[in-house]
C-alpha cells in the first residue's frame, strides 16, 4: 500500500475551491421595501408619539377641512385628523396582516408537509378539498363565514384562517413532493433516519423558501382583504381606525372631501408595495441557494 | 467465503405511462424492470452489475436497500429476511447496508454543512458518544481525503468529485458491511473518477467492505470488480469472476458489449481499423414490451428458432461462471 | 496540402474569465480531428466559437481561416450561409437541438429548402435518402414521426441526417455519443466514420473519452484549462505522450492489465477560469513541474512528426513512459 501513502499527502493538500459566492446584493428595491415596512412598524408601535392628534378626538369647529399645515391630510366630518387616524390605523392593519396569515402559514405548512410526505389516500382527499375551495372566490367565502359568526376583527381572523391555510398547505405539499424525489431524501431513508427526521429536518428546510416568499405577498393581500371587510362593515368596527374603515367612513364624502378616502387608500398601496418589494428581495435571496 | 447477501428471483414492474391510447385499451402497460434476478455478494468482495439503460440495474440497487418494494423474490442478508423487515429492524439493516447515489449534487442536503451531515449520521445510530463526534467527523473526512475544514462548508462549495467523497464518508460513518454504489463515478471527469476508484480500492482493503458496484462503464468495472454480473432487460444474462467474464465471455450480449466499448489502442498508422461495423445492430428494446423467449434474440447475431420461443436455461461453467443462453447447450 | 480549416490564436473571454486562450489547430480534408478534455477545458466553447455560436457577451480573438475567409470576423449574414451549408453541427442532446413540434421529415426538408433550394417531392425523396443513409430503417414512414417518437440513438441519427442535408465539408460534433448507451454509441461512431469516408467530409469530434479518440480519430488535440496541451497523430500521442497532462489523463483510465491496482492519475482539481495559474496552467497539479513551468506559458513546439506539445519537460515525460512500459 505504499502508493496510497505517496498519494495521500498530496491529495490532502488539495486547496479547496475558493468561495464562489459573490457578496450578497439585495438591490435597492428590497431596501425601499424594508424602509417602508419599518416606517409602518414605527407607526404601529408608537402612534401616540408620531401622530399629531388623538385619533378619535372630535373637533366640531374644524370638520371636513382640506389638507393644511395644521391637518396635512385634512379632517373628517367629525373634525378628526385624517393623518392621525391613518397612523393609528397602521397598528390595526399590520395586526391584520400578521393575524390573518400567521396561523394559516404555520398550520398549513404542517398539514401540507404531512400530506405531501404521506401521499396516498390522504393526499387524494386533500386534493378534492382544494378543488372545491378554490372554485369559490376567496372574498365570498370569507364574507359567508363572517356573516355566520358576526362582524368584528376576531371573527374575521377566524374566517380568514379557516380558508387561508389551504393555500399554504397546497403550496408546501407540492414542494415536499418535489423534494422527496431528490436523492438526498432517499439517502436519508437508506441512512435509517426516521420519517419525522427526514420530513422536518431535511425536506422542510429545503421546501420552506417559497412559503416565506408567499407569506410576504399574502400579508399584502391580507391588508387588502381586511380593508375590504372594514369598508363593508364586516371587519374592524368604527370608531376603530383602520384603513378600510376610514375609506368606508368617507364614502358619503367622496366628491366633497376627497382627502378622507385618498390618504388611507395611498397608505394601503404603499404598505402593499412594501410587502411586495421585500417579498421579491427574499425570493431573490432564496433563489441563490 | 460465505455469502453476505443473497437475492433470489427478484421481480418488480412499474405501471407504464397512461397515454390516451392505453386508456382506450384498458389496463396501462407495465414496465418490467426486474424479471427474476438472482445473485449473491460475498463478504469483502466487489460484485459489479453492468448493463445499458433500462436493464434494471438501478432498480435492483434501490430494491436491495428497500427504497423500492419488490413484487416477488427473496433477499436474505446475513441470514435475515430483508423484505419482511420494518421499523427499528429495517433501520438496523440500513446501518449495515449503505448506498451512494449517482448524482453528487442531489444526494446531499444543500442546507446542511458537511459536519452536520456526518454528525447526524453518527448521532442517529449512536456510533460514538456525543463529545467525540467532532473528532470522528475529522477522521471520516481524512479517510476520504478531504481537509478537516471541509466540515464547516455547505455541499455547493465542493466540486462533483469532492461531493462524492462526502457521500462516501456519510455512508461509511455508520460502518456498513455492504456498500451499494449506483453509478457513482459516471458523472465525474476521468481524472476525478480515478481518484474515487483509488479511494474505493483503498477503503475496501482497509475496512473489508463488500461493494455492489452498479455501472455501465466496462473499463471501470473491470478495474474494480472481483465478480461481474451482466444484466439485459431485467435479467442477469451472465455472471462470473471478472477475468473470466472479460476474457472469455460466454453470452453473445457480453461479447457484443465488450466489442462495442471503445478501446484505448489506436490502430497503427497505415493499417485500416479492425472493426468497421458496429458490434450490435438494432435499438435497445423497451422494457414495456420484452421479447419472448430469450429477451436478447432480436439483436442477437446468432439467434436460432428456439431462442424466439423458449426461455434459455442457466449454464453453470467453471468457477461458477454462468450464462443464460441456448447456444451453450 | 492546405488545411481545410486553420485556427490561429483563438481566445474567448466571458467577462473577466478567459476560458479559452491562444488555441491553434488545423483540420485537413477528410480528416477526423478529436478535441479531448475534461469539463471546463474549453473544448465545447472552442467548437462553438468557430460558427459564432457563443453567447452574445462572449468575445473572441484570433482567426479561423476557412476557404480564405476568417469565420470569427464574418458578418452575421455570411456566417449564417456557412452554417449548415458548409459547416454543420451536431450536439450531445438531440432532443434539445430538434424541434419537438415538427416532424423529422419537415426538419430535414426545411434544411434542404434553405440550403439547396429543394422543395416538395424532390425534397422528400432526398430526405428519405438521407434517413436511409444514416441507418434509420423504414425511412419513408419515419419521416412523419416526431422527435419524441424516436429513441436516443435514432434521434442522434436524425440530427446527423439534418446536418448532412447540404453535404457540408466539415461536421462539428459536440460529444455526440455522451448521452447514449455503449452499443448505441458504437453504432453512431461507426456511422460517423463511414460517412466521413464516403462523403470526403472532415469531422471535429469533441469528447471527454480517450477511448473514442483512439477508436475513431486520425489526429487529436488535448485541451486543459482553455489551452491545447498537446496535439498530433492519434497513434503517436497515445504511444508516446509528450505532455504530463496527456500522460495523467491516460493513466486515469483503468487498464485491464492492472485491474484492482491504484491508478496513478492526476491529483487535485482544475483551476477556476477566473484564477488561471501563470505559466503552464497544468503546473500546479503536475508531478514533473519545475519552477520554470510557472514563469511563462510554454508555446506549442514540435516534438515529433506533426506532433506538438506545450510541455517543456517532454523528454522527461517520454522517458518515464518508457520506464514504466
Task: Give the per-residue pLDDT at B22.
Answer: 59
**Binning pLDDT at 50, 70 and 90, where does residue A9 land?**
very low
Distance from CA of C267 to the nearest CA of A (A): 6
Which sequence spans correspond to the domains of chain A?
Answer: 26-55+69-287
| Per-residue cell: B232 | 439485459
**Sheet containing C69-70: which strands, arranged edge to edge?**
C17-27, C5-14, C58-66, C69-70
Whether the pLDDT of residue B104 is over 90: the answer is no
Q: How many CB pairs under 8 A join B and C?
A: 138
| Per-residue cell: A239 | 370608531
Domains of chain C: 5-222 (3.40.50.300), 240-324 (no CATH)
Could you give the C-alpha distances from C36 to C40, C46, C53, C173, C243, in angstroms and in order? 11, 12, 20, 12, 14
B281 part of contact set with chain C, CB < 8 Å: yes
Helices then strands, counting H and E runs in chain A, come out as 13, 0
Element (H, E) at B35: strand B30-42
Distance from CA of A11 to the nearest CA of C (A): 6
CB C287 within 8 A of CB C293: no
Mean of the per-residue pLDDT values for chain B?
A: 91
In sequence order, the β-bridge partners of residue C25 are C7
A148-177 pLDDT, tens digit each: 999 989 999 999 999 999 999 999 999 999
Q: Which of residues 96-125 of B touch A (CB under 8 A)?
A: 98-99, 101-103, 106-112, 120-121, 124-125
B220 part of contact set with chain C, CB < 8 Å: yes
The three-state DSSP-derived secondary structure of chain C is CCCCEEEEEEEEEECCEEEEEEEEEEECCCCEEEEECCCCCCHHHHHHHHCCCCCCCEEEEEEEEECCEEHHHCCHHHHHHHECCCEEEECCCHHHHCCCCCCHHHHHHHHHHHHHCCCHHHHHHHHHHHHHHCCCCCHHHHCCCCHHHCCHHHHHHHHHHHHHCCCCCEEEEECCCCCCCHHHHHHHHHHHHHHHHHHCCEEEEEECCHHHHHHHCCEEEEEECCEEEEEEEHHHHHHCCCCHHHHHHHHHCCCHHHCCCCCCCCCCCCCCCCCCCCCCCCHHHCCCCCHHHHCCCCCCEEEECCEEECCCCHHHHHHHHHHHC
**Binning pLDDT at 50, 70 and 90, where does residue A19 land?**
very low
Q: Which of residues 19-58 of A touch C (CB under 8 A)?
A: 20
- Picking from C43, C211, C264 by the largest number of B CB atoms within 10 A of its own CB, the best residue to mutate is C211
Closest-CA residue of chain A to B175: A191
The DSSP letter of residue A55 is T
Looking at C165-210, which runs of residues are DSSP E strands? 170-174, 202-207
CB A52 within 8 A of CB A83: yes
Residues of B whose CB is below 8 A from C249: 190-191
Q: Which whole number is the average pLDDT over B94-111?
A: 92
**Binning pLDDT at 50, 70 and 90, where does residue A17 land?**
very low
Residues of B whose CB is below 8 A from A11: 145, 195
Contacts of C234 (CB under 8 A, 6+ apart): B266, C34, C213, C214, C217, C218, C219, C220
Q: Domain A26-55+69-287 belongs to what architecture?
A: Orthogonal Bundle (1.10)
**Binning pLDDT at 50, 70 and 90, where does residue A6 land?**
very low
* Contact at CB, A8 and B124, closer than 8 angstroms: no
B120-155 pLDDT, tens digit each: 999 999 999 999 999 999 999 998 989 999 999 999
The chains in contact with chain A, meaning 3 or more Cβ pairs closer than 8 Å, are B, C
Task: Give the per-residue pLDDT at B19.
Answer: 61
B31 part of contact set with chain A, CB < 8 Å: no
Please, how many CA atoms are within 13 Å of residue B301, restricted to the half-sphere of its CB? 12
Q: Which whole number is the average pLDDT over C252-263?
A: 90
Task: Give the per-residue pLDDT at A3.
Answer: 34
- Coil vs helix vs strand at C23: strand
* Contact at CB, C256 and B256, closer than 8 angstroms: no
Residues of A whose CB is below 8 A from C262: 3-4, 7
* Contact at CB, B284 and C259, closer than 8 angstroms: no
B259-304 pLDDT, tens digit each: 999 988 888 887 777 667 888 888 888 888 889 999 999 999 999 9
* Contact at CB, A7 and C267, closer than 8 angstroms: yes
Peptide bond into A239 cis (omega under 30): yes
**Binning pLDDT at 50, 70 and 90, where does residue A289 land?**
low
Peptide bond into B18 cis (omega under 30): no
Task: Give the per-residue pLDDT at A157.
Answer: 93
Tell me the percentage of chain C whose pLDDT exceeds 90: 76
**pTM of this structure:** 0.86
Amino acid at each position: 500500500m505504499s502508493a496510497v501513502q505517496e498519494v495521500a499527502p498530496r491529495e490532502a493538500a488539495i486547496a479547496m475551491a475558493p468561495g464562489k459566492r459573490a457578496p450578497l446584493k439585495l438591490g435597492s428595491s428590497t431596501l425601499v421595501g424594508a424602509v417602508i415596512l419599518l416606517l409602518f412598524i414605527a407607526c404601529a408601535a408608537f402612534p401616540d408619539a408620531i401622530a399629531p392628534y388623538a385619533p378619535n378626538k372630535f373637533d366640531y369647529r374644524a370638520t371636513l377641512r382640506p389638507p393644511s399645515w395644521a391637518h396635512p391630510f385634512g379632517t373628517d366630518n367629525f373634525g378628526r385628523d385624517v393623518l392621525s387616524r391613518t397612523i393609528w390605523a397602521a397598528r390595526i392593519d399590520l395586526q391584520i396582516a400578521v393575524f390573518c396569515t400567521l396561523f394559516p402559514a404555520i398550520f398549513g405548512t404542517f398539514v401540507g408537509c404531512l400530506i405531501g410526505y404521506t401521499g396516498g389516500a390522504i393526499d387524494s382527499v386533500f386534493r378534492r378539498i382544494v378543488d372545491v375551495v378554490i372554485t369559490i372566490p376567496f372574498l365570498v367565502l370569507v364574507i359567508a363565514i363572517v356573516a355566520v359568526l358576526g362582524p368584528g376583527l376576531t371573527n374575521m381572523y377566524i374566517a380568514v384562517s379557516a380558508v387561508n391555510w389551504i393555500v399554504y398547505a397546497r403550496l408546501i405539499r407540492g414542494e415536499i413532493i418535489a423534494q422527496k424525489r431528490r436523492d438526498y431524501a432517499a439517502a436519508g431513508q437508506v441512512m435509517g433516519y426516521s420519517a419525522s427526521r427526514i420530513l422536518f429536518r431535511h425536506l422542510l428546510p429545503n421546501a420552506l423558501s417559497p412559503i416565506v416568499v408567499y407569506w410576504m405577498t399574502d400579508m399584502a393581500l391580507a391588508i387588502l382583504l381586511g380593508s375590504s371587510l372594514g369598508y363593508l362593515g364586516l371587519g374592524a368596527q368604527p370608531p376603530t381606525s383602520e384603513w378600510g374603515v376610514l375609506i368606508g367612513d368617507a364614502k358619503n364624502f367622496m366628491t366633497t372631501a376627497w382627502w378622507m378616502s385618498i390618504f388611507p387608500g395611498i397608505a394601503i398601496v404603499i404598505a402593499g408595495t412594501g410587502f411586495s418589494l421585500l417579498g421579491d428581495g427574499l425570493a431573490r435571496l432564496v433563489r441563490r441557494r | 467465503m460465505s455469502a453476505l447477501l443473497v437475492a433470489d428471483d427478484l421481480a418488480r414492474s412499474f405501471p407504464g405511462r397512461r397515454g390516451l391510447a392505453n386508456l382506450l385499451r384498458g389496463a396501462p402497460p407495465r414496465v418490467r424492470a426486474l424479471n427474476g434476478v438472482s445473485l449473491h455478494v460475498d463478504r469483502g468482495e466487489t460484485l459489479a452489475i453492468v448493463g445499458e439503460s433500462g436493464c434494471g440495474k438501478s432498480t435492483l440497487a434501490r430494491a436491495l436497500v428497500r427504497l423500492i418494494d419488490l413484487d416477488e423474490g427473496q433477499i436474505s442478508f446475513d441470514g435475515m429476511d430483508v423484505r419482511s423487515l420494518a421499523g427499528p429492524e429495517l433501520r438496523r439493516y440500513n446501518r449495515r447496508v449503505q448506498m451512494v447515489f449517482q448524482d453528487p449534487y442531489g444526494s446531499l442536503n444543500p442546507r446542511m454543512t458537511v459536519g452536520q451531515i456526518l454528525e447526524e449520521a453518527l448521532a442517529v445510530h449512536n456510533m460514538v458518544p456525543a463529545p467525540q463526534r467532532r473528532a470522528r467527523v475529522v477522521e471520516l473526512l481524512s479517510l476520504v481525503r478531504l481537509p478537516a475544514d471541509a466540515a464547516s462548508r455547505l455541499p455547493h462549495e465542493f466540486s462533483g468529485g469532492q461531493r462524492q467523497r462526502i457521500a462516501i464518508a456519510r455512508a461509511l460513518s455508520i460502518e456498513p458491511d455492504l456498500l451499494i454504489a449506483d453509478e457513482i463515478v459516471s458523472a465525474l471527469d476521468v481524472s476525478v473518477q480515478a481518484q474515487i476508484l483509488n479511494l474505493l480500492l483503498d477503503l475496501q482493503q482497509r475496512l473489508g467492505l463488500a461493494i455492489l458496484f452498479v455501472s455501465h462503464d466496462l473499463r471501470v468495472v473491470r478495474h474494480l470488480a472481483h465478480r461481474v454480473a451482466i444484466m439485459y432487460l431485467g435479467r442477469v444474462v451472465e455472471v462470473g469472476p471478472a477475468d473470466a467474464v472479460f476474457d472469455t465471455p460466454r453470452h453473445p450480449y457480453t461479447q457484443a458489449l465488450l466489442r462495442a466499448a471503445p478501446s484505448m489502442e489506436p490502430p497503427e498508422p497505415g493499417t485500416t481499423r479492425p472493426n468497421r461495423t458496429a458490434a450490435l445492430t438494432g435499438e435497445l428494446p423497451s422494457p414495456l414490451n420484452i421479447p419472448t423467449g430469450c429477451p436478447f434474440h432480436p439483436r442477437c447475431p446468432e439467434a436460432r428458432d428456439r431462442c424466439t420461443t423458449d426461455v434459455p436455461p442457466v449454464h453453470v461453467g467453471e468457477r461458477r461462471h454462468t450464462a443464460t443462453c441456448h447456444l451453450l447447450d | 496540402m492546405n488545411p481545410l480549416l486553420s485556427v490561429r490564436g483563438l481566445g474567448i473571454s466571458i467577462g473577466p474569465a478567459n476560458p479559452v486562450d491562444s488555441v491553434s489547430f488545423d483540420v485537413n480534408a477528410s480528416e477526423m480531428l478529436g478535441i479531448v478534455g475534461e469539463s471546463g477545458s474549453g473544448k465545447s466553447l472552442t467548437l462553438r466559437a468557430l460558427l459564432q455560436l457563443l453567447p452574445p457577451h462572449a468575445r473572441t480573438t484570433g482567426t479561423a481561416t476557412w476557404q480564405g475567409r476568417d469565420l470569427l470576423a464574418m458578418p452575421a449574414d455570411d456566417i449564417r450561409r456557412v452554417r449548415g451549408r458548409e459547416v454543420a453541427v451536431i450536439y450531445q442532446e438531440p432532443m434539445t437541438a430538434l424541434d419537438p413540434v415538427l416532424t423529422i421529415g419537415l426538419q430535414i426538408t426545411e434544411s434542404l429548402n434553405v440550403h439547396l433550394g429543394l422543395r416538395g417531392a424532390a425534397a422528400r425523396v432526398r430526405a428519405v435518402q438521407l434517413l436511409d443513409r444514416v441507418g434509420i430503417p423504414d425511412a419513408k414512414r419515419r419521416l412523419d414521426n416526431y422527435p419524441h417518437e424516436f429513441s436516443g440513438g435514432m434521434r442522434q441519427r436524425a440530427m446527423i441526417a439534418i446536418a448532412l442535408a447540404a453535404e457540408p465539408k466539415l461536421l462539428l460534433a459536440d460529444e455526440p455519443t455522451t448521452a447514449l448507451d455503449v452499443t448505441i454509441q458504437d453504432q453512431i461512431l461507426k456511422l460517423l466514420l463511414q460517412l466521413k469516408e464516403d462523403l470526403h467530409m472532415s469531422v471535429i469530434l469533441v469528447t471527454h473519452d480517450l477511448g473514442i479518440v483512439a477508436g475513431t480519430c486520425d489526429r487529436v488535440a488535448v485541451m486543459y484549462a482553455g489551452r491545447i496541451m498537446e496535439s498530433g497523430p492519434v497513434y503517436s500521442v497515445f504511444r508516446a505522450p509528450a505532455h504530463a497532462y496527456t500522460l495523467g489523463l491516460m493513466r486515469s483510465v483503468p487498464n485491464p492489465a492492472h485491474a484492482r491496482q491504484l491508478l496513478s492519475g492526476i491529483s487535485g482539481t482544475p483551476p477556476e477560469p477566473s484564477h488561471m495559474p501563470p505559466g503552464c496552467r497544468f503546473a500546479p497539479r503536475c508531478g514533473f513541474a519545475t519552477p520554470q513551468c510557472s514563469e511563462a506559458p510554454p508555446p506549442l513546439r514540435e516534438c515529433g512528426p506533426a506532433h506538438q506539445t506545450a510541455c517543456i519537460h517532454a523528454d522527461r515525460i517520454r522517458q518515464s513512459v518508457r520506464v514504466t512500459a
